[in-house]
Homo-oligomer: A and B are copies of this chain.
């Protein structure tokens, strides 16, 4: 027997309709590429998003066609978010930090029909446009009078000219809620980039979950500054959750330095900010240097990579700002877990609370996770056993766009590529990447644990732990080290340093000193490259 409730498709258009109707004059603030501060509101964003939809209709952009953006966080990007998905096209946010060749590859793979870009990225577009035959409309996110006459890009039009002449009335189409709304490419270390293709349904369910008190806790009383880019998994879904609750949004544009971000946090009375650790490092540095305080900031969501304990301490102890440590990935829309305390933890001493806050957090309802060993056997939630982290849920990918990479699921579960422990309270902690964990005699050794100990030695500048094939134990760890300039550090001294800090069988078999460890564009160590460099290395007998 079926229920008798109204059948209504979950839709992104309904988010912007809601924000317009119930929070029309709530502000949307943007620092523009031009440097000035632009003030808008939900009603204006809604009207202009409908102008975008009309412009797409006029440009004969079909339902389901991809509309790409190469843009910072700002009001025009937000209008495109709702205008594109709301009208049944697919928003494709491109990462401008990729190499132009990768951008070209992705644009062609996605078959983007429209490209909207900030003027900052004009050089990239000039570089690639001739190699992107599917793109029919090039739109520069600027006023008509800011358009360069000699861009060399055929038919280039300013955003304001492109959408400005169209009506701000538009009847959003009634879409199946499983219609694709958005795509994000993720660049693995191997193989071609692969795209997650989100739906209206997955986006709305994720938006509800994101706003919950145990997650970001978003309300109409918040002023939210997403430092996390709108080209990075939709700024963790904040634009959607923000429309759902009608909060104020503050966009930092291209200025992510400590001074600029601090200025916006203060003048726009921001209560919650979200971003990766590196941005917060710059912000905290700026505060410390100037002896500054936050007037309104209450919470920061920190994710993208593990948050250093010192940062959590600084926010919490020095500035009274609660850190919400989060974990997610492109394939999860992106939120998987977030670290908020349970009732029973509120009475714990601050240092015990801090131990919990260092973990990546608890599952959000909608996401289910488990940790499994090599044989797929589920591991206990005892905070010690670790295994590959698998997830499932309505905002987790089933497969990638164009079935790139085949079917990623294992019995319906998505393997995250992370290795984690889960404690009895359900708090998950990432301990390693699956490809980096060392499997020695049936037991797993966390490469990150081994690296952290080496990094704690005063004479070590950088350390990478990798597994080396071993006839008896399958793999044994070695640690590759860059010494501080002029340091006389020796192999045996460092190995001795491990004693008592880690189980004996987890201590690396060897230390290899090198001048440099190869790093990727985002500063992450490239262990694949390192393994290639050590191809001829032999473990000590």
Contacts and interface: CB of A to CB of B under 8 A. Distances in A.
B245 A213 contact: yes
Contacts of A7: 178, 394, 398
Contacts of A22: 362-363, 426
Nearest to A177: B3
A357 interface: no
A3 B221 contact: no
A365 B181 contact: no
Contact of A180 (B3, B179, B245, B362): B3
A64 B1 contact: yes
Contacts of A392: 6, 8
B23 A426 contact: yes
A2 interface: yes
Interface in A373-420: 392-401, 409, 412, 414
Interface residues of A, number: 76
Nearest to A222: B343
Interface in A296-337: 333
A172 B247 CA distance: 38
Interface stretch (A123-131, A193-201, A229-237, A501-509): A193-201
Given A202-B3, A202-B5, A365-B15, A26 B179 contact: no
Contacts of A400: 4
A214 B220 contact: yes
A218 interface: yes
A398 B6 contact: yes
B340 A5 contact: no
Interface stretch (A204-212, A255-263, A478-486): A204-212
Contacts of A363: 18, 21-22
A152 interface: no
A209 B198 CA distance: 21
A346 interface: yes
A394 B6 contact: yes
A197 B342 contact: no
Contacts of A397: 4-6
Interface string A90-121: 10000000000000000000000000000000
A414 B398 CA distance: 37
B5 A201 contact: yes
Among A1, A23, A346, A426, which residue has the most Cβ atoms of chain B within 10 A?
Answer: A1
A490 interface: no
Interface string A231-252: 0000000000000111110000
A337 B77 CA distance: 31
Contact of A342 (B14, B26, B63): B26
A18 B219 contact: no
Nearest to A90: B1
Oligomer: number of copies = 2
Given A3-B179, A6-B397, A248 B201 contact: no
Contact of A343 (B64, B178, B223, B346): B223
B3 A245 contact: no
Interface in A350-377: 362-363, 365, 368
Contacts of A218: 213
A461 B299 CA distance: 52
A223 B23 CA distance: 31
A394 B343 contact: no
A178 B5 CA distance: 8
Contacts of A212: 208, 211-213, 219, 245
A379 to B, nearest CB: 14
B221 A394 contact: no
Interface string A1-40: 1111111101000110110011100100000000000000
A443 interface: no
A213 B211 contact: yes
Contacts of A21: 363, 368, 426
Given A208-B212, A218-B213, A365-B245, A5 B198 contact: yes
B396 A6 contact: yes
Contacts of A285: none
Interface of A: 1-8, 10, 14-15, 17-18, 21-23, 26, 63-64, 90, 176, 178-181, 196-202, 205, 208-209, 211-214, 217-223, 244-248, 333, 340-344, 346, 362-363, 365, 368, 392-401, 409, 412, 414, 426
Given A3-B198, A5-B201, A6-B394, 12 more contacts: A1-B64, A5-B198, A6-B393, A211-B213, A212-B212, A212-B219, A213-B213, A214-B219, A220-B341, A220-B342, A220-B362, A221-B342
6 contacts: A1-B179, A3-B181, A4-B199, A5-B198, A7-B178, A17-B368
The 9 A-B pairs of least Cβ separation, nearest first, read A3-B199, A1-B64, A213-B219, A208-B208, A22-B426, A5-B202, A4-B197, A3-B180, A220-B342
